[in-house]
Amino acid sequence: MGEIRRRNIEAHPDLVLAGVTDPRVSDPSRFGAPAFSDYQSLLDDKLDVVFVCTPNNLTPDVAVAALERGCHVFCEKPPGRTLADIVRIRAAEAASPGSKLIFGFNHRHHPGITDAKAIVDSGSLGGVVTLRGVYGKSGGDGFEGSWRNDPQVGGGGILLDQGIHMLDLFRFFCGDFEEVTGMTVTSHWDIPVEDNAFVLLRNSRGQMAQLHSTATAWKHIFRLEIGLERGYLAINGLLSKTGSYGRETLLIGRRPQRGESAAVGNPREEMSYYDRDPSWDLEVNHFVECIQTDRPVSQGTSLDALRVMEIVDRVYREPANAPFRTGRMPAATEGERS
């Protein structure tokens, strides 16, 4: 993410890369900017803007320190390991009213999502009835040793790491959800956090959403289905630097009209294809515009981050989930297999 943000900064006419800190890099000269030994030294350089692209355990410390110095802060998701982390960051934001704070929920800016949102907002297919999302990783070699699966560093498993993006999209389309229930399980990988999570949500308007967040898909997968009163939308694939999620598409289906008996069960559909991902630049552009015009951040706010962390926290606190957050499921006995 730091590399992506470096490219965003270099591409923006009003941003200059003033310095970088990354203790993992043996040759800091490749940054093309001064390298600092730690983030405190970097912040002492009187920066205007700080991009926080760190593991989850460091995120709140860096974000709070930057806000306390009066910096504008672009912070990657998730906003820490726990709900308490984002509460702490929001307190620092409130104490620094001149600073802009944004969180990197770039999926809101993917072209398939923005086109779907425009259709929903237009009302041409009626209101949202249901949402269903699947977001999954292939796992793969080295997955078990990833820092993301270390609870001391990452704080949670696939739900916090990846599913949080889909939860944010649910809110993007339907607002807040009052009812939250979910199950997590460590079903395959030998890791101390969940590799699968199912979450079910419902709001005061009766709209329901279902998420399956998984690290056992054996391929990268992204699919968001939006059921509407007069049709449906499905965003499949996700533009990424590796292309491993497949080509991003938006399927638009329309409920058969009266007299269209031949279309029952097989309605008219149209497909849009996308080949460029502007989401990273659009996020940064929005951030810079808010700084330059002193407008409030409207996408990826700290409230957005708080609300999705509240959902994740409620799922993790479900009593039935506790046994499955310390290791994989117990192996089935011979009798259970039969």
Chain segment 54-63, per-residue pLDDT in tens: 999 999 999 9
pLDDT of residue 262: 63
Kindly state the average pLDDT of the residues 320-337: 48
Cα–Cα distance measured from residue 212 to residue 196, given in angstroms and rounded to the nearest whole number: 7
Q: Going by CATH, does the domain composed of 109-276 fall within 3.30.360.10?
A: yes
pLDDT of residue 322: 65
pLDDT of residue 329: 42
Residue 265 pLDDT class (50, 70, 90 cuts)? confident
Cα–Cα distance measured from residue 221 to residue 237, given in angstroms and rounded to the nearest whole number: 7
Higher pLDDT, 88 or 320: 88
| % of the chain exceeding 90 in pLDDT | 80
Q: Reply yes or no on whether the pLDDT at 334 is more than 50.
A: no
Kindly state the average pLDDT of the residues 18-37: 83
Question: Does residue 278 have a cis bond before it (omega within 30 degrees)?
Answer: no
Cβ within 8 Å of residue 315, ≥6 positions away? 159, 180, 181, 182, 183, 184, 197, 199, 321
Chain segment 303-323, per-residue pLDDT in tens: 999 999 999 999 999 988 864
Cα–Cα distance measured from residue 50 to residue 66, given in angstroms and rounded to the nearest whole number: 7
Write down the mean pLDDT value for the chain: 91
